[in-house]
Amino acid sequence: MRGKFRFAIYLFVALALFSGSGVIYARYTSSRQQPEGVVALGESVAKDFRMALETMPSSRELWLRDSVEHAERLAEYNAKERDSRVLSIACVGDMVLGVNYPDNAPLLPVHDGAHLFDDVREYLQGADIAAGNLECLLLDKGGQHRIVHDPKYAYFFRSPERYINHFINAGFDFLSIGNNHLRDFGEVGVSSTLKILERSGIAYAGLRHRAEIDTLERDGVRYGFCAFAPFEEMCDIHDYDLVRENIRKLREDYQCDIVIVAHHGGAEGGSAYRVPREREWFGGGYRGDVYEFSHLCVDAGADLVFGHGPHVVRGMELYKGKLIAYSLGNFCTPYKINISGRCGYAPVLIVKLGVAGDFRGGEIISATQRTRTGPKRDAERVVVREMQRLSKLDFPESKLVISDDGTLSVSE
């Protein structure tokens, strides 16, 4: 069976080359938690063709030799074209568009939230990949909220199921679900959210055993995602063996070109804007050592690491040529989350990478949140200035340069 399949592919390639068609490939896809297999037709096919020529009639040999040489030239051209590409990845922080709990007092935006991303939509849709943190669950009604012993931590973020359409329309490709609110309404809320995300086509990750990693392919580039948090049933930010293993799976088993790691770690609140380079404590528990964790991710093979736990922006650094953004704060949280002062900073981080994962620059789009309106671009660039300041304070050794206009580059 394998021999017949291989012969059929060769015949398909020969006919396609004869007709002047472009790149050809065959692909099979298995279940969500299994790697995709790709049958690549390039140098290996050309080699097999050459071996076959010895037994073929001489009347066909010249035509096939020309076809093989054409395939080799095409493969070489495509490799050069691929290596020269620059990919853009848009990263943002926490998102809770509205809440429908309590049932008798929901807090939902006007126009049902359709306008919330309008002012920054072009940056999300203009990127090859847009990623952020879904800081809520998607469930229309029901479920029993978790028990909280300290009233000051009693925040329950249940959003309408239809709000998934706002994320789709905004252009999101990946949503982290590794945070402290996915389980606000127990298994009912978790199951509903997973089902809705699966139907949406948006990649998602962060839930232990059930949604640890995910992949997607765009224009011939395969992206891998994983997410971590210090909370029950999440992929644990403290479990470094798990961190290494999930990144290894994306690199080796799934053959991802680009690996992106999100984390919901660190202390929270207006005073949590520094990266302390040690374990952080908040709300009765350890929230991870995000500095050590992020470096571990890069060492394990990640190309980009971004965080969103503290509800404020933090500094960024380049580590071994890879960008680490320690916190992108609150991006679209018009209700129930404090957005005053620096808690309202809502940047869009545009990161440019080569197909090999090498850092090619980027940009901070400065935006801030206003009550019930979603993120709005900020002409004064206050977020750029804040991230400039914090990056210099916390990572003076880094070669990352943040220009006054938000452009990212590498110092000589």
DSSP of 101-155: -STTS-B--GGGGTTTTTTTHHHHHHSSEEEEEE-SEE-SS---PPP-SSGGG--
pLDDT tens for the chain, 412 residues long, are: 444 444 444 444 444 444 444 333 333 333 344 454 443 445 555 555 555 555 555 555 556 666 666 666 666 656 667 778 999 999 999 999 999 999 999 999 999 999 999 999 999 999 999 999 999 999 999 999 987 777 777 799 999 999 999 999 999 999 999 999 999 999 999 999 999 999 999 999 999 999 999 999 999 999 999 999 999 999 999 999 999 999 999 999 999 999 999 999 999 999 999 999 999 999 889 999 999 999 999 999 999 999 999 999 999 999 999 999 999 999 999 999 999 999 999 999 999 999 999 999 999 999 999 888 899 999 999 999 999 999 999 999 999 999 999 999 999 8
Quote the tokens at residue 217. Answer: 């392919």
Query: For 255-293, what is each residue's pLDDT tens digit?
Result: 999 999 999 999 999 999 999 999 999 988 999 999 999
Q: What is the pLDDT of residue 239?
A: 99
Q: What is the pLDDT of residue 167?
A: 99
Q: What is the CA radius of gyration of the chain?
A: 24
Report yes or no: 159 and 185 within 8 Å, Cβ to Cβ: no
Q: What is the pLDDT of residue 54?
A: 56
Query: 72's torsion region: left (phi>0), alpha (psi -120 to 50) or beta?
Result: alpha
Quote the tokens at residue 335. Answer: 């209700």
* Cβ atoms within 10 Å, residue 195: 12
Q: What is the pLDDT of residue 79?
A: 64
Q: What is the pLDDT of residue 150?
A: 76
Report yes or no: 276 and 310 within 8 Å, Cβ to Cβ: no
Quote the tokens at residue 158. Answer: 């249940």
- The secondary element (H helix, E strand) that includes residue 19 is helix 2-19
Amino acid at 200: S
Q: What is the pLDDT of residue 148?
A: 79
Residue 19's alpha-carbon distances to 12, 130, 150, in angstroms, are: 11, 38, 71
211 DSSP assignment: B
Q: What is the pLDDT of residue 121?
A: 99
Q: What is the pLDDT of residue 152?
A: 73
How many contiguous H segments (helices) and E segments (strands) does the chain have? 9, 23
Total-model pTM: 0.83
Quote the tokens at residue 66. Answer: 């020309």
**d(C-alpha 41, C-alpha 8), whole Å:** 12
Provide the terminal-to-terminal Cα distance of the chain, rounded to the nearest Å.
56
Q: Which residues contact 252 (CB under 8 A, 6 or more apart)?
A: none
Picking from 218, 88, 110, 92, the residue whose alpha carbon sits closest to that of residue 167 is 92
Sign of CA dihedral 129, 135, 140, 146: positive
Q: What angle do CA 316, 320, 323 make, to 5 degrees?
A: 30
Q: What is the pLDDT of residue 39?
A: 39
Q: What is the pLDDT of residue 398?
A: 98
**d(C-alpha 360, C-alpha 210), whole Å:** 34
Give the position of tokens 């399949």: 5
CATH architecture of 86-410: 4-Layer Sandwich (3.60)
Amino acid at 174: F
Domain with CATH 3.60.21.10 in the chain: 86-410
